[in-house]
């Protein structure tokens, strides 16, 4: 799925970005970024042959809608967009980028709403949060038929192994100590 990469480093600070640029990882998740940093971050990533997965809903200064998604697709051209919003995911798909639906396991209503969104959009992947609930990871994959990545609250190799064993293709994590576990 990600060229065999099962850990997807998730970047919250530019210091972390600098570190992961020098790593062997190809795919990088950008969680929190200011709009003014987009072009520079993209330029550095491309120079190091890294593929960015941008969390479109968390880019400061950019509204999370189809127009912002179109801007990201055309100007930044990441490998994929992560979002909870149908218009963003549809725009990513239309532009040939990975569309990754973020799904929060809050309660049954949130789960059912996310299933409807997945059915409507047919994203390439679903990111299930938190990733420490292996039974629900498997349930979401079975219910949607869509490949799963997961993250959130994962703090150990054992939790990574359980998430992968439950069917997740990769783990997103901002915890540097987990980046080099596999």
Residue 118 confidence (pLDDT) above 90: yes
pLDDT of residue 21: 96
pLDDT of residue 182: 58
DSSP secondary structure string for all residues of the chain:
--TT--EEEEESSHHHHHHHHTSS--EEEE-SEEGGGHHHHHHHHHHTT-EEEEEGGGEETS-SSHHHHHHIIIII--SEEEES-HHHHHHHHHTT-EEEEEEE-S-HHHHHHHHHHHHHH--SEEEEESTT-HHHHHHHHHHH--EEEEESS--SHHHHHHHHHTTEEEEEE--HHHHT--
How many whole angstroms separate alpha carbon 95 and alpha carbon 58? 20
Q: In the chain, where are the structural domains located?
A: 7-177
pLDDT of residue 93: 98
**pTM value?**
0.96
Among the listed residues 118, 109, 174, 175, the one whose alpha carbon sits nearest the alpha carbon of residue 148: 118
pLDDT of residue 1: 85
Q: Are 124 and 80 in contact (CB under 8 A)?
A: yes
How many whole angstroms separate alpha carbon 44 and alpha carbon 149? 25
pLDDT higher for 93 or 13?
93
Over residues 123-130, the mean pLDDT reads: 98
In tens, the pLDDT along 83-101 reads 999 999 999 999 999 999 9
CATH code for the part of the protein at 7-177? 3.20.20.70
Q: Is the peptide bond before 90 cis (omega within 30 degrees of 0)?
A: no
Q: Give every CB contact of residue 33 below 8 A, 6+ residues apart in sequence.
A: 41, 54, 58, 59, 60
pLDDT of residue 180: 84
């Amino acid at each position: 799925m990600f060229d065999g990469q099962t850990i997807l480093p998730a970047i919250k600070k530019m210091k972390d970005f600098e570190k992961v640029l020098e790593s062997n990882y190809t795919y990088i998740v950008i969680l929190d970024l200011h709009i003014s940093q987009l072009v520079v971050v993209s330029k550095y990533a491309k120079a190091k042959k890294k593929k960015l997965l941008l969390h479109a809903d968390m880019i400061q200064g950019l509204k999370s809608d189809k127009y912002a998604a179109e801007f990201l697709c055309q100007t930044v051209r990441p490998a994929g967009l992560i979002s909870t919003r149908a218009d963003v995911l549809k725009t990513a798909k239309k532009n040939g980028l990975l569309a990754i639906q973020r799904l929060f396991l809050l309660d049954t209503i949130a789960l059912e709403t996310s299933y409807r969104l997945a059915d409507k959009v047919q994203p390439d992947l679903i990111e299930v949060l938190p990733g420490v609930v292996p039974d629900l990871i498997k349930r979401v994959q079975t219910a949607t038929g869509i490949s799963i990545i997961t993250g959130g609250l994962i703090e150990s190799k054992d939790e990574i192994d359980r998430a992968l064993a439950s069917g997740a293709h990769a783990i997103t994590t901002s915890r540097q100590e987990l980046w080099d576990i596999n």
